[in-house]
Every structure is written in structure tokens, then in C-alpha cells.
Homo-oligomer: A and B are copies of this chain.
């Protein structure tokens, strides 16, 4: 009989920083820690320090018992436990993250990409607790997505299912980092909003406060501020972004018929500026049989801890099975 409280480590591996929390089965965070990601050229050194940071955290909390580790990482592959060709990390190629980290911490461990982790977090601790079929869309630099069907995350044959950011929104449209053209994430993301805003600036001479700004200062946050202040070009940029996102999501609904689509990530913080046009466009483009069956909703988790809660949910799900 162990009187200590069972927790898992939920790790959010980002390009700049790695943040982790010790999370119990109810989603309470008992301790947190962090480590720079980008200063570690060597995976082995990084993993050693990450393990040490977690152990250090646990040493302060004898009331906790670590049961497992969940990791959300860009380009994370759940099936293989790898991070594959991450564009913003020092480690290149196929990084055998789970296999290597288990050498430092011999516990149950699972890894997936950040959007999948977000979906699991929403299902276990957030606004999708009563849902078995839903989508999570993360609108950050790119567009990530997690698909849940029958209460399980869809990983597909490769472990890479849920790449809605790379469905084609505009045939022969904008160039995408993936080498193709017209991918949804080149329109519906913080970067996409910025491209749309600059395009609108170049195509019209509508007044905008941001005309005086250096292009580098025209961030998604700056466009959101301008839109809230009534800037017509900024408002149009949000409207256009939501229009494209909503119509593309209509195709996603035709695939898995979710009861809800959660919009998360930096761009979702713009609130109704992005939610309203996305909702309108989804409703307009939906097949009749799906009308009224799917809502667009905000996350039920605090933005600052959503990622570590998602990573924790991933491994709690494994432990509960």
C-alpha cells in the first residue's frame, strides 16, 4: 500500500523551451520545471538534464510517486515514439526519443505531436470530457490537428494521422513549407493571417494603421489589436482566414463527423475575430445532413498549461488501459 499520490510527468517539448508538470489523474499540477531546448545540440545531454530536472522536482515532493511520462513534441510519432525531421530542433532525421529517454527514466512513456496531445488533454481534463468524436485544431505558426473517434485518437497506419494543416485549401495556392501549394496552414494560422493581411494591403489602398509598421512588426497579435481597434484591413484579414478555415473544416466534418471542433493556440486567443467568421463559413459550407450537428468551441483548459496537461493525458490514457 503506497500512500503517495500517483502523478505522471507531462512534457511539452518546444523549439525554444521544454516545460513539464507533475500531473495527477484529475489534472492537478503539483510541480513544474523547465529546461532550454535550443541550447542542447546533443540529444543525450538534453535527455540527461531533462531526467535530472524531473528527479530534482520529485526530490522536493516525497508525497508524489511518478508513474509514467507523456511527451508532446513537434512531428512526434506516437506509433514509433520518435520525433521525425523536426524543422525547428537541432536534432535531425528520425530521433528515437522514447527509446533513448527510457534509458534515463525506465517508466511507461508515450510521445505524440502537440496537437494530438492537446486533443487528449481536452478529452481528459478539458471541454471534451463528455465527447467521443471531436476535432482539435491548433492555430499557431502552422495548423496542427488531432482527430478523436470512438473516444480514441486517430493515429492511422503511420502514426501521423491528423495533418489537416496540409489538406489543400486553395488549388495551386500559396507555397507551403512542405513543398506543395495551397495547404490550409498557409491560410489558417498566425503565419497565414499575416500573409493574408499583407496581401490585402498590397491589393487595396484601404487605410490601415499598420501601413506605417515594419513588415516584421505585423504579427498576428498586432493584426488582432488593430482589428479590435476597428482597422478595416485587419478585420477583413480575420474574416478571410475564418472563411477558408470554415469551408475546409466542412470537408473534415464529412470525414469523421465530430460533435465539436475546438480551436486552440495563439490565433484562437483572438476570440470572436476568428471564431465568428469560421463558424459562419462552416455553417455555409456544411453538407445538409451535418447542419446543426457540430459546434466550434474554445478550449476548456488554461492556455499556459494546456500543453503539459495534454502530454499528461497521453500517458494517463496508456496507464489506465
In the complex, chain B residues whose CB is within 8 Å of the CB of A288: 178-179
Collect the chain B residues with CB atoms within 8 Å of residue A161's CB. 133, 149, 255-257
Please determine whether A84 and B289 come into contact, CB atoms closer than 8 angstroms. yes
- Given A179-B288, A180-B287, are A258 and B167 neighbors across the interface (CB < 8 Å)? no
Instruction: Determine if A156 and B287 form an interchain contact, defined as CB atoms under 8 angstroms apart.
Output: no
Q: Chain A: interface secondary structure?
A: loop
Binary CB contact string for chain A from 154 to 179 against chain B (1 if under 8 A, 0 otherwise): 11111111111011101100000011
Q: What is the count of identical protomers in the complex?
A: 2
Q: Which residues of B contact A150 (CB under 8 A)?
A: 149-150, 152, 154-155
Let me know if B289 and A256 touch, CB within 8 A.
no
Closest to A155 in B: B257
Q: How far is the CB of A7 from chain B (nearest CB, A)?
A: 28
A294 within 8 A of B: yes
Binary B-proximity of A68-93 (CB < 8 A = 1, otherwise 0): 00000000000000001000000000
Decide if A240 is an interface residue (CB 8 Å cutoff). Answer: no
- B255 contacts A158, CB within 8 Å? no
Contact A257:B149 (CB < 8 A) given known A180-B287, A288-B179: no
Give how many A residues have a beta carbon under 8 Å from the other chain's beta carbons. Answer: 45
Choose the segment among A38-46, A198-206, A246-254 that binds chain B (4+ C-beta atoms closer than 8 Å).
Answer: A246-254
Q: Residues of B contacting A159 with CB < 8 Å?
A: 257
Nearest opposing residue in chain B for A131, CB measure: B157
Q: Which residues of B contact A23 (CB under 8 A)?
A: none
Given A157-B293, A167-B251, output 15 extra A-B contacts at Cβ < 8 Å. A134-B157, A147-B255, A149-B149, A150-B152, A154-B154, A154-B257, A156-B256, A156-B258, A156-B259, A157-B258, A162-B255, A163-B254, A163-B287, A167-B255, A251-B251
In the complex, the 3 A-B pairs of residues with the closest C-beta atoms, listed nearest first: A156-B257, A157-B259, A161-B257
